[in-house]
Amino acid sequence: MAFVQLKDHKSRYLWIPDDYTLISTESHERNGEPITIERYQEQPTFLLHGAQVTTIYANDGRDLQSYHNYTQAPDQPLPGTQEAEKLAEDVWTDTDPDFARGLSLLVVENQQRSYVDANGEEHQFPVLWVKFAHENGSYNWVTVAGGNKIVEVERNSEWDYFGGRRATEEWDNDDWVQARNGERPQLAAPHARA
């Protein structure tokens, strides 16, 4: 496996399988700032909802804003709540220690994640979603799957309080991108309006 390159070092927690290659690089805006989105897959062509690693970096360097790793459904048990909290804090400290100092734990929730394999079969797996508030007003989270596998890191997610939904664009969500492109209806709240 290859570990994700951050600003000045390789992550200790975030990785891309060796048999995955970069299939697309796109530039967009997130929270009004330029970003670069990279999508890695085992298959060389885009697979909707497919097994993937998606990274989003702010364009001022390798400043990670989002990481999604849906490459396998872990069959190991989930960690305990306190272990997941500690692991999430360690991920933030490794990713950006200055940013991590402004975080406060909000909640740990049991949730589900899924992806579709190359044969069209959906795989669901349980996760612990560890959510933090940041002193800059954003929401941030680390999502931990079985065997302490990190499947999501989301940074600087803004909330539309009036609309009761996320305000930050969801470039790493295939359904949201399809809605943005007019290929499907808008997603319901709490998803961002596309």
Under the banding of pLDDT at 50, 70 and 90, the label for residue 8 is confident
> If pLDDT is split at 50, 70 and 90, which confidence band does 90 have?
very high
Residue 31 has a pLDDT of 96
The overall average pLDDT reported for the chain is: 95
Going by pLDDT thresholds of 50, 70 and 90, the confidence category of residue 7 is: confident
pTM of the predicted model as reported, rounded to 2 decimal places: 0.95
pLDDT (average), residues 158-180: 95
Spatial separation of the C-alpha atoms in residues 95 and 92, rounded to whole Å: 5
Q: What is the pLDDT of residue 23?
A: 97
pLDDT tens, residue by residue, 34-85:
999 999 999 898 988 999 999 999 977 779 999 999 999 999 999 999 999 9
